[in-house]
Amino acid sequence: MRDLSPYERDFDDAYPDYATGPYEAIKALTERLTASEALQLVDCHQFQRFTELLEPLIEIRNYKAQAPFPTDIKTVLRLVIQLKQCAVPSQLLSGDPKRIFFAILDQKGFQLPTVSAVFHFCHPGSFPIVDKNVEAACEILRDAHASDFGGLRVPKLPAPKTSALNKLEKYRAFMAFIDRVVQLQRNQYGGEPDYRFVDRALMVLGAGKK
């Protein structure tokens, strides 16, 4: 497999909005979700009143926006807090993470790319981010280095209206492929590449296919 380091180094210039500063800021923000009283705050009366006031603004935005914002803020927050606070089982996307994955997909405005980002920021070492650029980059690598990927197929993003189970299986396929990319990068070029390294590299590599 080609060395992904040059693509990774180009990431901050190519995608300044997703560069190290904003990324680390979001990671830091997710630590608020670990507070012992987080779920109680979501269930309190004042929060319920706040969401009722916020609902008209969300509905107005969604009336004109193509990408809807979730209207059930309370449910989404509870799920994300549960995800952040849960243990990740050795069999990924099983147990609590699997249940939460399906439940988040039930909420307005969530497709696999956004859900994968939620999972990644809650557990950066366990879940990669996937999107169209990553999909394109996986195809480039599989076409150019088929022998490195054995029986792994190119992972594909699911259509928006397919079942949640199909989206789960598509995410698992991305995870298997990206895990292989991490392994190849480490074995062939050294260093300690992780999901963040690969995400940055694949974003830049995949952008060239458009």
Q: 131-161, pLDDT tens digit by residue?
A: 999 999 999 999 999 999 988 999 999 999 9
Domain co-membership, 101 together with 134: no
Domain co-membership, 110 together with 152: no
The 3-state DSSP class for residue 107 equals coil
Nearest Cα neighbor of 200 from 128, 99, 96 is 128
Domain co-membership, 12 together with 94: no
Q: Which of 122, 138, 173 is the last residue of a domain?
A: 122
Q: Which of 64, 92, 122 is the last residue of a domain?
A: 122
Domain count, the chain: 2
Q: Give the span between the Cα atoms of 170 and 158, in whole angstroms.
A: 7
C-alpha distances (whole Å) from 46 to each of 39, 68, 85, 154 are 13, 25, 23, 48
**Can you give the residue range of the structural domain that contains 203?**
5-25+128-207
pLDDT greater than 80 at residue 210 = no
Question: Using CA atoms in the order 127, 130, 135, 141, what is the torsion angle rounded to 10 degrees?
Answer: -40
Domain co-membership, 173 together with 138: yes
Task: Using pLDDT thresholds of 50, 70 and 90, give the confidence band for residue 209.
Answer: low
Domain co-membership, 42 together with 117: yes
CB contact at 8 A, 4 and 195: no
Domain co-membership, 40 together with 105: yes
Domain co-membership, 110 together with 173: no
C-alpha distances (whole Å) from 172 to each of 30, 84, 92 are 24, 19, 8
pTM here?
A: 0.94
Domain co-membership, 12 together with 60: no
Q: Give the span between the Cα atoms of 57 and 67, in whole angstroms.
A: 15
Domain co-membership, 83 together with 13: no
Query: Mean per-residue pLDDT for 166-179?
Result: 97
- Strands (E) in 145-190, as ranges, are none
